[in-house]
Amino acid sequence: MTKIDPNNYDSSTITGYRTKITEFNAFFAKIMPILAAKRLSFSTVMQNKQACNSNYQMLGKFLGDYEDCNLTNYLDYNTNGLIFNHANNTR
């Protein structure tokens, strides 16, 4: 087991240790449901964060494609291929 001889300690020290162990067990019993709830909410937050990061990556790709399209059309003097400054755009 632990190789600790309880005869080497006086009764007040043993009582103090038992009190601390009892207090810790009570704390542990109260905190575990709270930690389980936090873990569940954290996993939900992480799933939302990963979805958000994925959406930002997709948006970045779309913006990059948009810039490439506009740059190509500006360099080729092709006003019909521009997105906002299209020759037929009346806005």
- Inside any domain, residue 1: no
- Inside any domain, residue 2: no
- Inside any domain, residue 37: yes
- Inside any domain, residue 87: no
User: CA-CA distance, 22 to 25, in Å (whole number)?
Assistant: 5
- Inside any domain, residue 72: yes
User: CA-CA distance, 83 to 32, in Å (whole number)?
Assistant: 56
- Inside any domain, residue 65: yes
- Inside any domain, residue 20: yes
Task: Encode pLDDT of 27-66 as tens digits.
Answer: 999 999 999 999 999 999 999 999 999 999 999 998 888 8
- Has residue 86 got a pLDDT over 70? no
Domain count, the chain: 1
Sign of CA dihedral 39, 45, 47, 50: negative
User: CA-CA distance, 50 to 43, in Å (whole number)?
Assistant: 11
Print the domain residue range for 31.
10-81
- Has residue 68 got a pLDDT over 90? no
Q: Give residue 2's pLDDT.
A: 73
- Inside any domain, residue 90: no
